[in-house]
Amino acid sequence: MNSLEQLPLWVEVLVALLLVISSLFALIGALGILRMKSYFQRMHPPALASTMGSWTVALASILYFSALKSGPVLHAWLIPILLAITVPVTTLLLARAALFRKRMAGDDVPAEVSSKRSEAGN
């Protein structure tokens, strides 16, 4: 297929719909940051929305390039798979760092989970 030929209309519509859905996920994540009050609440909307947004963009990319080359093009799945692995780990590390800072500042935060286990075992 050369650059002058067009894709089928259903492919273009589906790709456009998937891209609009991904932008809605990004908007929902941004609104979640604005509406939530504490740091820990603000961590969840962008993490969840960016994960779902990246899956829809990857699906749109796979659909578009597979239709363009008349065969499956699946290497775009690598991006959301890596994001699905790294985003939760990063979110957990950021939450732990924020809890550590709050504990060092003397704020009222939940006790460490590891200290409860050692007390229960005695």
* pLDDT digits (tens), the chain, 122 positions: 555 568 889 999 999 999 999 999 989 888 888 888 888 888 877 778 888 888 999 999 999 999 988 888 888 889 888 988 888 888 889 888 988 888 888 887 777 776 555 455 55
In a domain, residue 23? The reply is yes
- The pLDDT, as a whole number, for residue 46 is 79
Residue 59 within any structural domain of the chain: yes
Q: Is residue 2 part of a domain?
A: no
Helix residue spans in the chain (DSSP H): 9-35, 39-42, 44-69, 78-105, 113-121
With left for phi above 0 and alpha for psi between -120 and 50, is residue 112 left, alpha or beta? beta
pLDDT computed for residue 64 by the predictor: 92
Domain limits for position 85: 7-103
Position 29 scores a pLDDT of 87
Please enumerate in sequence order all residues whose Cβ is within 8 A of that of 63, keeping only pairs 6 or more positions apart, or say none.
11, 14, 15, 18
Count up the domains in the chain and report the number. Answer: 1
Nearest to 58 by CA among 87, 22, 12: 22
pTM (whole model) above 0.85: no
